[in-house]
Chains A and B, each alone.
Chain A
Amino acid sequence: MISSITFGQFIPGNSLLHRLDPRTKVICVIATAIAVVSIVKWYEFAILAVFIFLSMILSRIPARIFFRGLFSIWLLLVVTFSLQALLTPGEVLFGLGALKITREGLAAGCQIFLRLALLILIAFLLTLTTSPISLTAGLESILAPLKRAGVPTHELAMMMTIALRFVPTLLTEAEKVIKAQQSRGAGLGSGEVVERVKGLLPLFVPLFAGALRRAEELAVAMEARCYRGGANRTRMNSLVLELPDYVTLGITFAVLAMSVWLRFQNRL
């Protein structure tokens, strides 16, 4: 039953990371990501990796969940590593006819592999410890200044909230529609491409029609509850930065500053 799986991989918990303000986490993720793409040397990677692994421990989420996620994109990692290793010119270490692996290639390959892996771990740190609602609230708050530039931040956040809310409902409905059409002999998954696309109509038309119907009913229900957009609206759970947030932000920016400084040092 698909609907029992919560979208976004969020795993509820009470760790330090779980209790941080979502804005802190979003900002730190961006900052750390910038650090990861800035660094070059091995020891720099080591320092950042330690920082990230410490954060993973603080999240109290088992390491295997992080690595299972990494594992699921093994193909991407392998492909990027290989491309770097094979296509970077330089001192050839070994080769097989036209395929040559250079020293520089290996170094570049390892570098990009590590960068990708660390970036993904950082992203997981965010999504595993932050509920979708929390995340939406955090993003809305961060993007709030853009309102003055005419960006409909509240509406975007509302759209995200509602989309997240309806994902499990729509998945259940999709299951039901598929079963109903199969009960009338719909193949749904066999034959040539054109046939198969046409065969998806019995699934997509009801789903779209259903989604539109839901949207209309929901809009009416929201209006009946005095919804008129973001103006003059308050939030029950307001986001407040506390000491742990400031400390985390401080440490993260220190790491970022150090990485950027090291990058400049290397340039000189």
Chain B
Amino acid sequence: MPEKKTVYGGFPESPAYIKVKGLTYVYNSGGPSEQVALTGVELEIKKGEFLALVGPNGSGKSTLARHFNALLTPTEGKVLVDGMDTRQAEYLWEIRQRVGMVFQNPDNQIVSSLVEEDVAFGAENLGLPPSEVRARVDEALRLTGLSEYRNHAPHLLSGGQKQRLAIAGVLAMRPDCLVLDEPSAMLDPSGRRELMDILTRLNRSGGVTVVLVTHDMEEAAAADKVLIMSGGRPVREGTPAEVFADEQLLRDVGLELPVAAKIAHRLRRRGFLVPDGILTVKDMVSYLCR
């Protein structure tokens, strides 16, 4: 896996890995229960970037995410993954190997009743020789800290561990990009922390492009870039600092600022000259202790 420079804000001069142009998606198009989920989305995700896709329920963020690995294809517009058009059937499996996806429910992604077998599932689907599969399984288990559980039954793992297992299963396919659809929604705080640790590690040292769909702004604060969705449209795009500067927008859309950012805003409203860019508790502490 290539090394990534830790430049805040990602690689500005990086090529676009995923390009979304004029994307419109309609569920049950033409039928009685037709529903427009996305309208005119334009987006570029750079290689090695950590993007947070945020928005309230129904904003279309999950629908958008599912276009990145061709689970859904556009009704109008197009989505290109490393140059490959997702509507073209001959690229389908290549795209899905390059862009892995982890879903919200930890249980409903696990195929086998043995951890190492489940991790092997994706690599086996790629038709790799057994020795290669085993090597990748070992690697994936190591990256997600699950090596000691390799012979365990998945249903006995905790929620956080199950999600790590899901990630391991995707990592065994050596994807360029990892898309996660609200992966921590059903986890407890320690599970959430484990998950975010792995994601930031994979992104920073592993160079894996990460797209995290979430409505937890504390998680979004860890990203390089944030895209706010509402009503099927992108509403604001920028670094976390840029996006969280507009408290009113977030409130209108139905989201909440991370606590530190909220405190910073209230202080600003009281007349204190608190700088922008305070997103996390750490930021606030650094500012107050300078």
Consider the complex of A and B and state whether they touch directly, i.e. have CB atoms less than 8 Å apart. yes
Check B42 for interface membership: any CB of A closer than 8 A: no
Q: What is the CA–CA distance of A168 and B100 in the complex, to the nearest angstrom?
A: 27
Closest CB in chain B relative to A159 CB, distance in Å: 11
A225 with B153: in contact, given A133-B117, A165-B111, A235-B130 (CB under 8 Å)? no
Residue-wise, chain A 171-202 has the 8 Å CB interface mask toward B (1 for contact) of 01000000000000000000000000000000
Q: Which residue of A has the minimal Cβ distance to B108?
A: A217
Q: Quick one: which of B150-177 are within 8 Å of A by CB?
A: 153-156, 166, 169-170, 173
Interface locus among A55-63, A107-115, A226-234? A226-234
Q: Are B109 and A217 in contact (CB under 8 A)?
A: yes
Contact present for A234 and B129 (CB under 8 Å) = yes
Q: Is the interface of B mostly helix, strand, loop or mixed?
A: helix
Which residues on the B side are within 8 Å of A237 (C-beta)? 117, 130
A172 to B107, CA, bound (A): 12
Given the known interface contacts A224-B100, A225-B170, the answer about A232 and B127 at a Cβ–Cβ threshold of 8 Å is yes
For A168, what are the chain B residues with a Cβ–Cβ distance below 8 Å?
Answer: 153, 155
Select one of B93, B124, B156 contacting A235, CB under 8 A. B124
**Complex Cα–Cα for A172 and B170 (A):** 27
Instruction: Judge whether A19 is part of the interface by a CB distance below 8 angstroms.
Output: no
* Contacts A221-B103, A224-B69 given; does A3 touch B124 at CB 8 Å: no
Q: State A220–B105 Cα separation when bound (angstroms).
A: 12
A169 touches B155 (CB 8 A): yes
> CB < 8 Å: which of B101, B124, B154 contacts A224?
B101
Pick the contact of B97: A222, A226, A236 (CB < 8 A). A226
Could you tell me if B153 and A6 are in contact, using CB atoms closer than 8 angstroms?
Answer: yes
Contacts of B170 in A (CB 8 A): 224-225
Contact A233 B124 (CB under 8 A): yes
Set B111, B124, B154, B155: member contacting A236, Cβ < 8 A: B124
A165 touching B123 in the complex, CB below 8 Å, given contacts A214-B107, A228-B93: no
Which residues on A sit within 8 Å (CB–CB) of B114? 131, 133
CA distance A123 to B110 in the complex (A): 29
When each residue 246-285 of chain B gets 1 if its CB lies under 8 Å from chain A and 0 otherwise, what string results? 0000000000000000000000000000000000000000
Which residues from chain A contact B156 at a C-beta distance below 8 Å? Answer: 4
Q: Mark B103-144, 1 if CB is under 8 A from A, else 0.
A: 101011111111011001111111111100110010000000
Determine the chain A residues whose CB is within 8 A of the CB of B134 once the complex forms. 236
Instruction: Give which listed residue, B107, B129, B130, B173, contacts A225 with CB less than 8 A.
Output: B173
Q: How far is the CA of A227 from the CA of B120 in the complex (A)?
A: 12
Query: In the bound complex, what is the Cα–Cα distance between A63 and B260 (angstroms)?
Result: 65
Q: Which of A228-261 contact B (CB under 8 A)?
A: 228, 232-238
Contact B122 A226 (CB under 8 A): yes
Taking CB atoms, residues of chain A closer than 8 Å to B113 are 132-133, 161, 164-165
**Which one of B111, B120, B173 has the highest number of Cβ atoms from chain A below 10 Å of its Cβ?**
B111
Most buried by A among B122, B128, B154: B122
Q: Contact at A223–B96, with CB atoms within 8 Å?
A: yes
Q: Judge whether B153 and A217 touch: CB under 8 Å.
A: no
Docked complex Cα distance between A222 and B103 (Å): 11
Within 8 Å by CB of A161, from B97, B100, B112, B133, lies: B112
A218 within 8 A of B: yes
- 4 closest Cβ pairs, A-B complex: A225-B122, A217-B108, A221-B109, A236-B120
11 further contact pairs, Cβ within 8 A, besides A218-B108, A221-B101, A221-B111: A217-B109, A222-B111, A223-B96, A224-B69, A224-B100, A224-B101, A225-B125, A225-B169, A234-B130, A235-B124, A236-B137
Interface residues of B (CB under 8 A from A): 69, 71, 93, 96-97, 100-101, 103, 105, 107-114, 116-117, 120-130, 133-134, 137, 153-156, 166, 169-170, 173
Q: Can you list 9 contacts pairing A with B, beta carbon distance less than 8 Å?
A: A132-B113, A133-B114, A172-B155, A217-B103, A224-B71, A225-B125, A232-B127, A236-B130, A236-B133
